[in-house]
Structure 1
Amino acid sequence: MELNGRVVVVTGGATGIGAAVCRAAARAGAAGVVAVYARSAEEAERVAAEAGAAGGTGLAVRADVADDAQVRELAATVLERFGRVDVLVNNAGTTRAVGHEDLDGLTDDIWREVLDVNLLGAFRCVRAFAPALRAAGGAVVNVSSISAYRAGGSSIAYGVSKAALSQLTRNLAAALGPEVRVNAVAPGTVATRWQTQLHGEQGFAERSAAERASVPLRRTSTPEQVAEVVLGLARMDMVTGEALIVDGGKHVMY
């Protein structure tokens, strides 16, 4: 699939990896780029404007992926505006920092919140956009995490939600083929606001510096590098049901 002339929808498209995917899709010639946001309205509008400046049409749409009615309204809005959807990037995510040993701290409410966004949110979006994606012969890329593969990350709930998202990717690849391809990207540490909110500026600087000392590629991933992989998977016409780790090779050292 070439992205020129296509319509790309990115949940969590206002900041970080999602914003980088929106910008990269616009530079690749997408006719429409939809930055979906739940809270970051100003940032989403900025990303949409940047997409428009690159030659296509940028659109910022508010929708909480934890709310099925909002997701279905999102799909209707995009189809009314563009008439088609070629690529859906499920990037919206959330977490709550809870130490893995703190089982009592990981409440049922936290489990529900994390799974509702990270797992069910992706499913809701695929379900809502499936008819349009089938009609376009489109692609879905889910943003998972290295936490899907190892006992680390911000909480047990987060890692489990991402592991489940990777399995959802495989199931959806089987369910939506042959018209729609479904893949996932699993980033390791990425230099985003997400990380500084979790660890603080100084804390993240120290963690990423320590990681670079041992990671084979000796660098921390940027949102733009992850976006390159996301759009690469969208382009790969014979690849489906796969999850590609993007962590500078750190996973081979675990």
Structure 2
Amino acid sequence: MESENLPVALVTGAARGIGKGIAASLLRAGWSVVLTDVDEPAGQAAAEKLARLGTVEFIPMDVSDEASVMACIERIEGDFGQLDGLVNNAGMADPDNGPIEQLSLEAWNRKLGTNLTGAFLVAKHCIPMLRESGGAIVNIASTRAVQSEAHTEAYAASKGGLVALTHALAVSLGPTIRVNAVSPGWIDTRDNAQQQSDPLRAVDHQQHAVGRVGQPRDIGALVVFLLGPAAGFVTGQNLVADGGMTRQMIYVE
């Protein structure tokens, strides 16, 4: 597949939600985009919908399986011959693991295997092409890396580890490859029809200093910036995009 000399980005976990929103933002900004996901039908449907915005390809991939990762990267190299940006977005989204004393080792390992080890594996195998292009990596972490609800240990640990992995990679891979993280807060990932038929409550929006819950495009815009040349002096950072929610002190009266 020809990318027409456009920069090429890989977005993992892009069949829906924040990943799909990031892919749309990159396409609008003039990137060619490779979407990956374990959900092949949803990933293919997302690629077909996004194709109106530019050059897009879907490749099924399980980020926790190194053989699957290697096969995907080999296909990208064959189809595009280059990689300029990597967005490690794939993850198990449900943060609730129940009481810690009931959390199985299997469930713990599964969440870390996808959310944290998956980012390591994809970065590891993308580095040769990113070095060649002088590209950049963005890891999608979470505000749960810095604050928690009860019973979210596995998710919080995976996202906290992803923030630490970000600055470690930035030091190891610089100056050729920049590496940053974005930590989204509350992002409404439902489709437009669902948002209109079942709108969020006023109190949901009021918890944010900007007066609203976030949308995938808010994260997409930040990723476009971080992957591009305008962010050439930014690396090793975790940029929180949460509408100010983690800065707003809330006292229940």
**Preserved contact between residue 170 and residue 241 of structure 1 (Cα < 8 Å):** yes
**Preserved contact between residue 95 and residue 156 of structure 2 (Cα < 8 Å):** no
User: CA–CA distance in 2 between the matches of 1:219 and 1:237?
Assistant: 30
Q: 1:58 aligns with which of 56, 62, 70?
A: 56
Deviation, 1:96, is 5.4
Deviations 1:112-135 (A, max 9, x none): 001000100000000000000010
**In structure 1, what is the equivalent of residue 224 of structure 2?**
231
**In structure 2, what is the equivalent of residue 177 of structure 1?**
174
The unaligned stretches of length 5 or more in structure 2 are: 192-196
Deviations 1:213-237 (A, max 9, x none): 2321110000111111111111211
Q: What letter corresponds to residue 73 of structure 1 in structure 2?
A: A
User: CA–CA distance in 1 between the matches of 2:95 and 2:22?
Assistant: 24
User: CA–CA distance in 1 between the matches of 2:153 and 2:26?
Assistant: 33
The unaligned stretches of length 5 or more in structure 1 are: 195-200
Deviation, 1:180, is 0.4
Deviation, 1:140, is 0.3
**In structure 1, what is the equivalent of residue 215 of structure 2?**
222
- What is the TM-score normalised by the length of structure 2? 0.88
User: CA–CA distance in 2 between the matches of 1:134 and 1:222?
Assistant: 32
Q: What letter corresponds to residue 60 of structure 1 in structure 2?
A: F
Deviation, 1:22, is 1.1
User: CA–CA distance in 1 between the matches of 2:58 and 2:151?
Assistant: 29
**In structure 2, what is the equivalent of residue 198 of structure 1?**
none
Shift in alpha-carbon separation, 1:108–1:10, aligned structure 2, 3 A? same
User: CA–CA distance in 1 between the matches of 2:178 and 2:72?
Assistant: 21
Deviation, 1:152, is 2.5
- What is the TM-score normalised by the length of structure 1? 0.88
Deviation, 1:154, is 6.5
Deviation, 1:253, is 1.6
Q: What letter corresponds to residue 209 of structure 2 in structure 1?
A: P
**Preserved contact between residue 209 and residue 244 of structure 2 (Cα < 8 Å):** yes
**Correspondence 1:139 to 2:136:** yes
**Preserved contact between residue 147 and residue 153 of structure 1 (Cα < 8 Å):** no
Deviation, 1:156, is 1.0
Question: Which 4+ stretches in 1 moved above 4 angstroms?
Answer: none
Q: What letter corresponds to residue 103 of structure 1 in structure 2?
A: I
**In structure 2, what is the equivalent of residue 7 of structure 1?**
8
User: CA–CA distance in 2 between the matches of 1:22 and 1:137?
Assistant: 20
Shift in alpha-carbon separation, 1:215–1:226, aligned structure 2, 3 A? same
Deviation, 1:34, is 0.5
**In structure 1, what is the equivalent of residue 81 of structure 2?**
83
Deviation, 1:193, is 4.6
**In structure 2, what is the equivalent of residue 246 of structure 1?**
241
Comparing 153-162 with 103-112, greater Cα deviation is found at 153-162
Question: CA-atom RMSD, angstroms?
Answer: 2.0
Deviation, 1:251, is 1.1
**In structure 2, what is the equivalent of residue 29 of structure 1?**
30
Sequence identity (%): 35
User: CA–CA distance in 2 between the matches of 1:21 and 1:231?
Assistant: 8
Deviation, 1:240, is 0.4
**Preserved contact between residue 38 and residue 62 of structure 1 (Cα < 8 Å):** yes
Deviation, 1:50, is 3.8
Q: 2:206 aligns with which of 206, 213, 220?
A: 213
Q: Secondary structure at the match of 1:104?
A: helix
Deviations 1:166-206 (A, max 9, x none): 00000000111111000000001110159xxxxxx97x945
Count residues in correspondence. 237
